[in-house]
């Protein structure tokens, strides 16, 4: 056996282990629908392992560390940012996938990539940019665009079909992902979002545990750990040996009520709305400026496609800090003018 063949056997053994150990419903790497552009198989890693690593090393992934998850400056900088949320989604999703004997590599690739297209300032950024788009600006669609078109100097990451399907369809309102692994990530995203927003709100003093309605506590639990455990365990118990990944009806209803509670007590509070308005104003001012001054866009965004799309790609890719610094440079007294943000972006 030649050295090359011995290396190929490493991946093949992993694919054999998947076939022997995973559930009937699991998605096998060897059965992937493939990539848009043909590539020779990696000698050591399965197709989904390759995708996970490509997402992890993407520039857009690194930028998640300075993008707000939900509420701006909730408790002096210790609230969860988008990168922490992404890692927590991946952790919850891996736990569910392992219990259901699904493909953990596929789950992790989807989970790490699901929010790559998120704007600065959380959901406020989507609202801000929607007025410049043909339809609502959706972060899941932008995440798909990031991995297909924007990363790697415009070549995209050439991910497998299964990963791209999971990224696109992780959001509510979209069709269910085609793979059970994608469905795991969709459930894990919902679990992580609600439980961790509540955890941040309690630590910030916006909510005290006694505020939670008893019908929510009675089903999900009284502590953060209990709520995460209840939700994850329910997904596993409901989905074990089933072709789809779901929650039981009582837990779905309790989770829905928790989301409503958080909307009223956290998202819609007066100071959050004021901060949200400022964030929307900041991004819309930036969009108008670059639409009127396209030569001020960084070189990678000066060509290729309609101007509106290039401006949205640029602003959506900014971190919170970059958006604030660019706004200050362009519009506040003493700002460095239109060219300073480009230099700052290159340094980031």
Q: Give the span between the Cα atoms of 110 and 83, in whole angstroms.
A: 14
Q: Residue 154 phi/psi, 5° resolution? A: 95, -5
Classify burial at 50, counting beta carbons within 10 Å of its beta carbon; exposed 0-12, middle 13-18, buried 19 or more: buried
Average pLDDT over every residue of 301-313: 92
Q: Which CATH architecture has domain 46-266?
A: Orthogonal Bundle (1.10)
Average pLDDT over every residue of 154-159: 96
Average pLDDT over every residue of 259-269: 90
- The predicted pLDDT at position 337 comes to 59
Least confident range from 97-111, 192-206, 247-261: namely 192-206
pLDDT in tens, 198-256: 998 888 888 898 999 999 999 999 999 999 999 999 999 999 999 999 999 999 999 99
Which residue ranges does the chain devote to CATH 1.10.3210.10? 46-266
- The predicted pLDDT at position 71 comes to 54
Classify burial at 252, counting beta carbons within 10 Å of its beta carbon; exposed 0-12, middle 13-18, buried 19 or more: middle
Residue 101 predicted with pLDDT over 60: yes
């Amino acid at each position: 056996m030649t050295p090359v063949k011995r290396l190929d056997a490493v991946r093949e053994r992993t694919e054999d282990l998947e076939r022997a150990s995973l559930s009937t419903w699991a998605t096998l790497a060897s059965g992937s629908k493939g990539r848009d552009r043909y590539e020779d198989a990696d000698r050591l890693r399965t197709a989904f392992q390759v995708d996970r690593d490509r997402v992890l090393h993407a520039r857009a992934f690194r930028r998640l560390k300075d993008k707000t998850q939900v509420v701006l400056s909730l408790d002096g900088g210790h609230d969860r940012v988008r990168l922490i949320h992404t890692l927590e989604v991946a952790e919850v999703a891996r736990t569910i996938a392992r219990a259901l004997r699904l493909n953990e590599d596929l789950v992790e690739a989807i989970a790490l990539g699901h929010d790559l297209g998120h704007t600065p300032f959380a959901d406020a950024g989507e609202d801000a940019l929607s007025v410049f788009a043909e339809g609502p600006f959706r972060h899941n669609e932008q995440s798909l665009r990031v991995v297909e078109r924007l990363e790697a100097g415009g070549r995209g990451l050439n991910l497998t079909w299964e990963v791209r399907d999971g990224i696109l369809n992780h959001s509510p309102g979209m069709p269910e992902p085609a793979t059970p692994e994608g469905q795991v990530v969709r459930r894990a995203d919902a679990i992580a979002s609600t439980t961790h927003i509540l955890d941040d709100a309690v630590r910030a003093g916006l909510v005290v545990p006694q505020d939670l309605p008893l019908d929510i506590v009675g089903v999900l639990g009284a502590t953060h750990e209990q709520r995460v455990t209840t939700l994850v365990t329910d997904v596993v118990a409901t989905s074990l040996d089933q072709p789809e990944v779901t929650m039981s009806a009582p837990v779905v209803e309790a989770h829905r009520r928790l989301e409503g509670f958080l909307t009223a007590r956290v998202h819609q509070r007066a100071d959050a709305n004021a901060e949200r308005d400022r964030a929307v104003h900041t991004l819309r001012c930036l969009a108008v400026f670059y639409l009127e001054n396209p030569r001020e866009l960084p070189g990678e965004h000066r060509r290729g496609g309609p101007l509106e799309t290039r401006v949205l790609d640029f602003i959506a890719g900014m971190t919170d800090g970059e958006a604030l610094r660019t706004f200050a440079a362009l519009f506040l007294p003493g700002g460095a003018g239109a060219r300073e943000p480009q230099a700052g972006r290159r340094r980031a």
